[in-house]
Amino acid sequence: MEISAQAVKALREETGAGILECRNALAASEGDVKKAKAWLEERGLKKAEKVTGREAKQGLIETYVHQGRVGAMVEISCETDFVARTEDFQKLAKDVALHVAGLSPKYVSVEEIPADVIEKGFWGQPQQVLRRKRFVEPAVRARCQSLHRGPAYSGQG
């Protein structure tokens, strides 16, 4: 089956995949865009599994200070120094630092949160006990996750 350049371009714009990958996906799916997207997603997951064990030894440290009152310092890691030097990576680090400063976390890690703060809950309200047992565990898990995301920086994201 002949794959048109317009179809490859449209799939590439939708997915952000490379030209050759889009062409191969359309060829494998016989021109069906939905199947091609699924093919690309499956292939992307396989690629992600390959890099799971790698260490991110490079990166950069970015700071953000707003009017000398609020500030944040973040470390963003990557596999190579070539990635760390790209404009997109530096913009990402700056944006993360800006957002961390905006969230004003009270603790750096979840381990630093005192037990009384955890017992009280993030909003200062006592934990409510749910009557039905099947709702207790998911509710506690969700409450703990929201508690850990809010006041501690390293639990976010």
Which tens digits make up the pLDDT trace of 64-85?
A: 998 888 888 889 988 888 888 9
Mean pLDDT over 83-97 rounds to 91
Please list the residue range(s) of the chain that carry CATH number 3.30.479.20. 58-103
Whether the predicted model's global pTM rises above the 0.75 cut: no
> Going by CATH, does the domain composed of 5-50 fall within 3.40.50.2000?
no
Q: Which residues contact 5 (CB under 8 A, 6 or more apart)?
A: none
Confidence band of 147 (pLDDT split at 50, 70, 90): low
CATH 1.10.8.10 in the chain: give the residue spans.
Answer: 5-50
Q: What is the pLDDT of residue 135?
A: 54
CATH class of 58-103: alpha beta
What average pLDDT score do residues 36-62 get? Answer: 80
What stretches of the chain show up as alpha helix (H) in DSSP?
Answer: 5-15, 19-28, 33-50, 81-84, 87-103, 115-120, 133-149
